[in-house]
């Protein structure tokens, strides 16, 4: 069996791993590379194999760096099945349609800016390609082994990363020998809101594991709810607004769930809350449809509250006119809007109108990449550029980091030790991590594996 690492190798973007046997060619994930525009476009445009030659794709979850290039694969000839959980199928279709729309808008914008000598920038794919690949999704339940032929079986276990995320277990027959391969996708954390804890495996011959935070310990998720209460309570007393830039998938729903909890506990200040993100609103409907895939706490909540994503103080903003009206609103209120790093979407308008008011608060809820507006706010820059103007930062800026969906050092230690007790773990390949994170994780788990973990590089192949 040959494994070629075609993305998320030595970095944390563009997850894509090719598995080849004497009778099969299958792909684990087909994610978008995200980074410098020209380099990302080049990597995303070309595949290292004929797409039509793939027998199947196995998709771990619906984040764009894992599913975002599936429509391009379809555009170039792939017509095989895409196996995933039901929630992932629903999420991926929404995320991919949004991606196609953004690409088309970017292409039109760049066409106006580029010189006549510059070749036109074409979208990687269209909404028709999204519709086409979505028809290939085959939904499989968690925990059941599914026979996909005489030489291939698959089982999905809950990865605990986002709704629908899966650890992919494959049993593949190669040259008359069965091999047991596991791909963690993005491994989640324990005790995150909404999500079940990651499931343990019972050993394997080959393990492809993410390593994003193999050198870090996160803050506790349980602290975030109390911190949100303190922020909203202060805003209510000061009659200020709270602006929360939040990722549309996962983070927004977790925040709403915590606020719903505070409301049910009769602790939430009487302050209007607005979700100003059409994408987030569409994704909330998926969460409502998949409550059965969530943790025991959610099951307990819905025994007395049928909708953990709705309460009387919460409104979902749909139209552009409603969004603009919020900037003229008086008194205390909360607005949750994309994007999480403040680079795109409606949140930039809310920041422009609220960042210079000392009574307001900006709550950053996740990782802020270098050179983003979110990072500049995190760094307490006295002035920031929004659109084409500089604004003084007088609002209070708070960073809440407890909701990261990736396993940290303690989670990895728990997962590897627990899995190794159930069965031997053979060769481990560490992907989806910067070199220092992957190296630290390799040292942490070495005693739990039969062989020293390997950190593959982009386009590197291994016979296993």
Domains of the chain: 2-216+405-463 (3.60.15.10), 222-399 (3.40.50.10890)
Beta-bridge partner residues of 5: 17
Pairing outcome for strands 16-20 and 25-28: antiparallel
Please check the confidence at residue 314 and state whether its pLDDT lies above 90: yes
User: Which residue in the block uniquely carries the two structure tokens 């684990």?
Assistant: 28
DSSP letter for each residue of 46-109: --SS-GGG-SEEE---SSHHHHTTHHHHHHTT--S-EEE-HHHHHHHHHHHHHHHHHHHHHHHH
Spatial separation of the C-alpha atoms in residues 341 and 323, rounded to whole Å: 19
* Better-scored residue on pLDDT, 84 or 118: 84
User: How large is the average pLDDT for residues 309-328?
Assistant: 96
Q: What is the pLDDT of residues 177-204, one digit of tens each?
A: 999 999 999 999 999 999 999 999 999 9
The angle formed by the CA atoms of residues 44, 63 and 180, to the nearest 5 degrees, is 90
Q: In this predicted structure, which of 28-37, 84-93, 170-179, 222-231 has the lowest mean pLDDT?
A: 28-37
User: How large is the average pLDDT for residues 268-286?
Assistant: 97
Backbone angles phi, psi at 328, to 5 degrees: -105, 0
- Share of residues in the chain with pLDDT > 70 (%): 98
* Better-scored residue on pLDDT, 41 or 285: 285
- The sign of the torsion formed by the CA atoms of 110, 39, 64, 401 equals negative
Please check the confidence at residue 269 and state whether its pLDDT lies above 90: yes
pLDDT of residue 34: 85
Per-residue pLDDT band at 222 (split at 50, 70, 90): confident
Element (H, E) at 441: helix 435-445
User: How large is the average pLDDT for residues 226-250?
Assistant: 96
User: Which residue in the block uniquely carries the two structure tokens 């980074």?
Assistant: 35
Q: What is the pLDDT of residues 4-35, one digit of tens each?
A: 999 999 999 999 999 999 999 999 999 999 87
Q: What is the pLDDT of residues 138-167, one digit of tens each?
A: 999 999 999 999 999 999 999 999 999 999
Please check the confidence at residue 117 and state whether its pLDDT lies above 70: no
pLDDT of residue 451: 95
Element (H, E) at 150: none
Spatial separation of the C-alpha atoms in residues 330 and 353, rounded to whole Å: 12
Mention every residue, 6+ apart, whose C-beta is less than 8 A from residue 191: 197, 220, 221, 222
Nearest to 251 by CA among 207, 193, 200, 304: 193
Please check the confidence at residue 114 and state whether its pLDDT lies above 70: no
| Residue 178 and residue 170 in contact, taking contact as beta carbons nearer than 8 Å | no
Beta-bridge partner residues of 17: 5, 28
State whether residue 155 is helix, strand or coil.
strand
Kindly report the average pLDDT of the chain as a whole number. 95
User: How large is the average pLDDT for residues 432-461?
Assistant: 97
- Share of residues in the chain with pLDDT > 90 (%): 89
pLDDT of residue 115: 62
| Residue 82 and residue 136 in contact, taking contact as beta carbons nearer than 8 Å | yes
For the chain, the distance separating the N- and C-terminal CA atoms, rounded to the nearest angstrom, is 5
Q: In this predicted structure, which of 21-25, 118-122, 247-251, 389-393 has the lowest mean pLDDT?
A: 118-122
Strands (E), 151-305: 152-158, 166-174, 177-183, 204-210, 241-245, 273-275
Per-residue pLDDT band at 307 (split at 50, 70, 90): very high
Q: At what angle do helices 222-238 and 251-264 cross, to 10 degrees?
A: 70
Spatial separation of the C-alpha atoms in residues 44 and 275, rounded to whole Å: 32
Indicate the pTM of the whole model: 0.94
Nearest to 133 by CA among 55, 49, 185, 72: 72
Mention every residue, 6+ apart, whose C-beta is less than 8 A from residue 388: none
């Amino acid at each position: 069996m040959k494994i070629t690492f075609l993305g998320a190798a030595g970095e944390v973007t563009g997850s894509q791993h090719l598995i080849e046997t004497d009778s099969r060619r299958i792909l684990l994930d087909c994610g978008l590379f995200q980074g410098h525009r020209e380099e990302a476009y080049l990597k995303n445009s070309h595949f290292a194999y004929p797409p039509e030659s793939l027998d199947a794709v196995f998709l771990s979850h619906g984040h764009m760096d894992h599913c975002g290039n599936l429509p391009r694969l379809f555009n170039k000839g792939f017509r095989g099945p895409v196996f995933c959980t039901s929630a992932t199928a629903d999420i991926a279709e929404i995320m991919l349609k949004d991606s196609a729309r953004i690409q088309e808008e970017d292409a039109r914008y760049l066409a106006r800016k580029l010189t006549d000598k510059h070749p036109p920038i074409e979208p990687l794919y269209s909404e028709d390609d999204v519709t086409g690949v979505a028809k290939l999704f085959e939904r499989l339940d968690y925990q059941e082994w599914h026979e996909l032929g005489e030489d291939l079986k698959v089982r999905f276990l809950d990865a605990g990363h986002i709704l629908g995320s899966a650890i992919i277990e494959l049993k593949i027959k190669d040259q008359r020998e069965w091999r047991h391969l596991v791909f963690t996708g993005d491994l989640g954390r324990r005790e995150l809101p909404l999500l079940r804890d990651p499931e343990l495996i019972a050993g394997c011959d080959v393990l492809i594991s993410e390593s994003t935070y193999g050198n870090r310990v996160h803050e506790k998720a349980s602290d975030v709810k109390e911190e949100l209460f303190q922020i909203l309570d202060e805003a209510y007393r000061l009659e200020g607004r709270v602006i929360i830039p939040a990722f549309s998938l996962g983070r927004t729903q977790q925040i709403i769930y915590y606020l719903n909890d505070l409301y049910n506990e009769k602790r939430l200040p009487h302050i209007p809350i607005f979700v100003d993100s059409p994408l987030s609103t569409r994704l909330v409907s998926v969460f409502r449809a998949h409550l059965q895939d969530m943790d025991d706490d959610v099951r307990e909540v819905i025994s007395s509250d049928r909708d953990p994503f709705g309460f009387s103080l919460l409104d979902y903003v749909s139209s552009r006119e409603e969004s603009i009206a919020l900037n003229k609103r008086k008194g205390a209120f909360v607005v949750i809007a994309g994007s999480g790093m403040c680079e795109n979407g409606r949140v930039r308008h809310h920041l422009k109108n609220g960042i210079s008011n000392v009574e307001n608060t900006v709550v950053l809820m996740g990782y802020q990449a270098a050179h983003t507006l979110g990072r500049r706010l995190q760094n307490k820059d006295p002035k920031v550029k929004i659109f084409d103007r500089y604004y003084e930062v007088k609002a209070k800026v708070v960073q809440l980091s407890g909701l990261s969906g990736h396993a940290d050092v303690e989670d990895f230690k728990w997962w590897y030790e627990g899995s190794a007790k159930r069965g031997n773990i053979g060769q481990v390949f560490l992907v989806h991590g910067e070199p220092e994170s992957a190296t630290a994780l390799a040292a942490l788990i070495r005693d739990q594996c039969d062989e020293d973990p390997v950190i593959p590089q982009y386009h590197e192949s291994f016979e296993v």
